[in-house]
Structure 1
Amino acid sequence: MTRKMGVLLIGFLFSALASFSGVADTDAKPPFFEVTVNGKTTYLLGSVHVGRAQMYPLPSAVEAKLKSAEAIVLEVLIENADLPTLMQNYGMGKPQLPDDVAQKRQRFCEDYVRECASIDVLQPWMQASMITMLRFGELGLTPEYGVESYISNRYAQLPRYELESTELQFKMFSSLSAELQLLMLKDALEAQPAELSELLDAWGGGDPAALTELVKAGFGDNPELFEKIIVERNRDMVSALLQLLTSAKQNKLFVVVGAAHLVGPDSMPQMLSEKGAKVVDCFAQTCGVSW
């Protein structure tokens, strides 16, 4: 595995910014947990933010809980965001790129003249995000078929809540050091298609250890990036979820967050367990029938 995986994990698994067959992959086993707190049970699904139509429906165990859910909880509700203002406040800038990075970006943009027309006025993290999404598009992977989009559209009748905000995510990436943003951009420009397939395989492969290793490798020797993008947000989202379980009018909440937030020693399931919640991996053990 190469160091380039870092920005792909960011774009693919984190921000609310494998080869699947031609039929729905109902044998997929994404991160999926049953969480019980103070007698109230919720379900927690790890998502990927881009995908293909062939990924759906989701595994039957997941769809069954979705059909019983009374509300959906996402990382962010993108429709609540003022994207032009967020772009202006956190995404714009005219960075001076090193010659080698500028040349790689120029070569990449030769195939995306229209999309790259204004790329040089974006902060490096935003350039990296845009380039990563274009690379996913080359493989037929689009946000339209991300797990959140699928669930939001299929279960549109359900109320929805958010654990954080789009502004928080923009602000987080914008606050990264120039060095880290440049690293993200370089990773995006140097990414290989095989790495994207590896991510999809890991998401649906039912092997938390493999997904944890991908996350770990993605951040490499950048603990600052891991702490900011994963650990700090996990703490905040766990706090928001626990508050929501108390305040929401609905009892049956189905929660969807990026898969990388649900694996590893600093994951949301681990943090919830440390706060007294009973946490069950629904593909490793038998989840209850509380819903």
Structure 2
Amino acid sequence: MRRLIIVIFYSLFCLTLQPAWAQQAQATAPAIPNRGVLFKAEQGGNTLYLFGTIHVGSPDFYPLEPRITEALTQASVLALEIDPLADQKRMLNAVRKYGVYAPGSGPASAQLSPAARARLERALRKYGIPPEAAAPLKPWMLTSALTIAEFGSQGYQPILAVDAWLSKQARARRLKVEELESVEGQMSLFGRLSDAEQLRMLEEDLQSIEDEKYAGEARELMDAWSSANPAALDAVARKLSNDATFSGKFMKKVLLEERNPQLADGIAKLLAREKLSVAAIGALHLIGWENVPDLLRRRGIAVERIY
């Protein structure tokens, strides 16, 4: 489950630095099934719809089902982890600070073992990523790029991410969009990793590509989310919780458990302030151990799972 890193941690660099090798698509108007996971939180006469997103997408995801779109029509605020349509300069600066080598440094491949370097070369060829595009990326960012490339090969693109679609809908309705986190804060989590830890993360994922686990895990996650299948989503969360790799532990402890209390705090404050609001965060923040709905319930907030 370590390639979930890019799906749970919002990789804004793909929306701001959309590479030439990633195909782009335009949304169409398909059927409207349930997607992801949806909760309703209530306290003091106020209501908040809490939707679990995925940070990639495909045209057939949209529009989202009526309970989401109608809530957006009536709400006063949409809260996202990060607004992908916000200040692009701020996002680019964070990418340069945390995800890209300074001129004259790198590339990551120079620090890999010969076997891992060969795996990286094969992975870049597999996904059609030019070596010169990969060279400036730090190992954790290169790991993210490979993960996005796998999702892209299956038809899912960051430019069609659910968060971006929601932000666009909110802006069309002149609905206020708030951020529960900052791009600087999110990317600084990876900035904590030493060079050795980043290389370990990259090497683990390169091995998974060779073992063909990458593609299967991507399909598993997307199938669970796109069908709003609670059992399948819970199975993904359990697999992540049991992942004993370095990447899996970092994902669980830092990217989920460490962030969930902050997300819950922001959502609770939004619920206390607004009569009707919508918050949309990565789906795996809403299931599994120490999830956001459970943290809200501990605050005395009534939380109901709709699907």
> Aligning the two structures, in what range does the TM-score lie when normalised by the shorter sequence?
0.7 to 0.9
* Letter paired with 2:186: Q
Would you say 1:163 and 2:172 are equivalent positions?
A: no
Partner of 1:133: 148
Q: Give 1:230-241 correspondences, 5 Å limit.
A: 230-241=256-267
User: Is the partner of 1:161 in helix, strand or coil?
Assistant: strand
Counting only pairs closer than 5 Å after superposition, residues 200-219 of structure 1 correspond to structure 2 as 200-218=222-240
Change (3 A) 1:224 1:118: closer
TM-score under structure 2 length normalisation:
0.80
Q: Give the TM-score normalised by the residue count of structure 1.
A: 0.84
What CA deviation, in whole Å up to 9, does each residue of 1:32-86 have, x standing for no partner? 0001133321110000111111111112222222222222100012423523322
C-alpha displacement of 1:188: 4.2
Q: Which residue among 268, 290, 297 is the counterpart of 1:242?
A: 268
What is the one-letter code of the residue matched to 2:169? R
Q: For 2:74 and 2:279, how far apart are their aligned partners in 1? A: 13
Measure, in 1, the Cα distance between the counterparts of 2:76 and 2:295.
24
Q: Does 1:37 align with 2:38?
A: no
Deviations 1:249-288 (A, max 9, x none): x5321101000100023110010001110000112xxxxx
Q: Secondary structure at the match of 1:73?
A: strand
Gaps of 5+ in 1: 284-291
- Does residue 89 in structure 1 map to residue 101 in structure 2? no
2:131 is paired with a residue whose SS is coil
Relative to structure 1, is the Cα distance of residues 12 and 223 closer, same or farther in structure 2, using a 3 angstrom cutoff?
closer
Q: Deviations over 1:197-233 (max 9, x none)?
A: 2111111333334213213323502444311110110
The residue aligned with 2:198 is: 181
By how many angstroms is 1:178 displaced? 4.3
Which of 9, 12, 27 is the aligned partner of 2:7? 12
| Greater Cα shift, 53-62 or 115-124 | 115-124
Is 1:229 paired with 2:255? yes
Q: 1:16 touches 1:75 (CA, 8 Å); kept in 2?
A: no
- Output aligned runs, 1:10-89, within 5 Å: 10-17=5-12, 24-78=30-84, 79-80=86-87, 82-89=90-97
Unaligned runs of 5+ in 2: 13-27
Question: In 2 relative to 1, CA 174–60 (structure 1 residues): closer, same or farther, beyond 3 Å?
Answer: same
CA distance in 1, matches of 2:197, 2:30: 38
Question: Which range is displaced more, 184-193 or 103-112?
Answer: 184-193
Match of 2:219 in 1: 197
Query: What is the aligned counterpart of 1:100 among 115, 128, 149?
Result: 115
Question: How well do the aligned residues superpose, as a CA RMSD in angstroms?
Answer: 2.4
Does the 8 Å CA contact 1:49/1:147 hold for their aligned counterparts? Answer: yes
AA in 2 matched with 1:144: I
Shift of 1:154: 2.2
Cα distance in structure 1, aligned partners of 2:121 and 2:177:
41
Distance 2:35 2:240 in 1: 21
